[in-house]
Amino acid sequence: MTNPFQEKLTTLSQLEKRRELIPIKGIDFSSNDYLGLAHHDGIRQCLMDALADGMALGSGGSRLLRGNHPEHENLESFAAEFFGAEAALYMATGYLANVCVFTTLPQRGDVIIVDELEHASAKEGIHASLAKSIKFAHNDVQACEDAIKRARANGAKDIWIAVESVYSMDGDVAPLDELLEIADRHGAYLIVDEAHATGVHGPGGKGLAAVFEGRENLIVVHTCGKALGQAGAIVTCTTVMKDYIINAARSFIYTTAPTPLSALAVQKALEVVRDEPERREQLHALIQHAHQKFPSDISTTQIIPLMVGEDGAAFALAKQLQAKGFDIRAIRTPTVPKGSARLRLSVTLNVTTDDIDALASAYE
């Protein structure tokens, strides 16, 4: 009997698109642990103390059953105040948060206007939504507004604009102020994914949407598994929207809650972001140094795409650098458009300027 899955895997191999899990080794130029908080001694000690005091290892159920622990509510209160939002809701992953937001808030008859480079979890949520969607050219505010006008002309009810603040593969930044002006002008909502900005960018590391938090037409997703070094995601929004998500989001209602230990870890990570600004200062110095060594016409952030072109060439180059002790990965189609395969250089506090210099020499 022919195994259809093996045939598909063989085809992926032939197309140089087959993925594999590889062990963690080498100097870290691929993780999203931007502030090095995944190994923060203070957070680790806090969790050890909590376990020693008898904190539950699991949540025990969904948030609406017996899974709503004080640590969840403490985190949400702290996060709302930290980010300057009216309310916050903690979820198990950033992927789940995006699916939850897009399948719950936009309704049938609404239209989601989405940047063409929005990342996969948001796209999955949009695909599963009852609302229709329209893509617009990346970071093109006029194209965004034109799409809104077309949607309105075709009878759209509410309009939802979906963007990232820092784009995960190009490292460039969305024009949030202009997009929010468009949202205001057209009575639309703006959904901002701060996955690669939370903890790193904006005032106090609160993200690039921080100056707008608290607006009724703004929903923000703050991922906890990147610069915060933990797990989960926090959605900041109005109290009414939070209440509606709790009542209507199947992906929230019918899933086991994150562990109370995870919620505590995220709160402690946010406290580190607040109390240790020197981490951000050190990171931005490293980012500046990396941009000097790897000039980019695209990126202005800690994510620097080293453009190669073809999938096979990018994969081979990554393998060569990995063999020299650098953990840097190739990004290929369909994650990026055909012909734009690249190495994704991620700058974190897990490296030094000497490490960056060594990578630059090996890359030449």
Active-site annotation, residues: 32, 119, 164, 168, 193, 196, 226
State yes or no: cis peptide before 334, omega within 30 of 0. Answer: yes
Return the CA Rg of the chain: 21
Give CA–CA dist 284/246, Å, rounded.
37
- Go through 216-235 and write b for each residue having 16 or more CB atoms within 10 A of its CB, e for each that does not: ebbbbbbbbbbbbbbbbbbb
Strand bridging mode 341-346 / 329-331: antiparallel
User: Nearest Cα to 239, choosing from 67, 102, 76?
Assistant: 76
Tokens 């990171």 belong to: 283
Give CA–CA dist 306/293, Å, rounded.
11
CA dihedral 134, 124, 252, 90 (to 10 degrees): -90
22: left (phi over 0), alpha (psi -120 to 50) or beta: beta
Cα–Cα separations (whole angstroms), residue 220 to 21, 139, 190, 208, 338:
31, 18, 8, 10, 30
Strand bridging mode 218-223 / 233-237: antiparallel
Distance of CA 22 to the CA centre of its chain: 22
172 near 301, Cβ under 8 Å? Answer: yes
* Total Cβ atoms within 10 A of residue 61: 13
Give CA–CA dist 93/99, Å, rounded.
10
User: Nearest Cα to 294, choosing from 245, 347, 251, 257?
Assistant: 347
Give CA–CA dist 247/102, Å, rounded.
15
Tokens 């609404």 belong to: 110
Instruction: Write out the two tokens for 36.
Output: 């090095």
